[in-house]
Amino acid sequence: MRSWFPRTNVWESAGLNVHLWNKECEDFYLKRRAAILDGNAVPLSGNQWRQQMRFCQQAPKLVVQMNKAALSFLQSSQADFFMHHHPQA
């Protein structure tokens, strides 16, 4: 199967996937969109996308570790203290 943009499973393992849309994601999208509109791009297979999306292999691992740290904090007594002693304005 080929696609104009990376499919979800490829995007989730790509170096741009840090669970938020940032400048690098926007730049990637705009560059790809321009190439498609100019006729300089073709749909790619999953393997081709994986080759193209090798930006930073550590990014998905970093996201997993950040999520673990956030969950650990939210389950801790520090989070409970913070929530009860810092009311929202």
Q: Give tens-digit pLDDT for 28-84.
A: 899 999 999 999 999 999 889 888 877 556 566 666 777 788 888 778 777 666 666
| Separation CA 64–CA 23 (nearest Å) | 21
Domain boundaries along the sequence of the chain: 2-85
Q: Tell me whether strands 44-45 and 2-3 are parallel, antiparallel or unpaired.
A: antiparallel
- Say what the pLDDT of residue 68 is: 84
- CA atoms in the 13 A half-sphere facing the CB of 50: 6
Provide the H-helix boundaries in the chain. Answer: 8-12, 23-37, 46-52, 59-74, 77-85
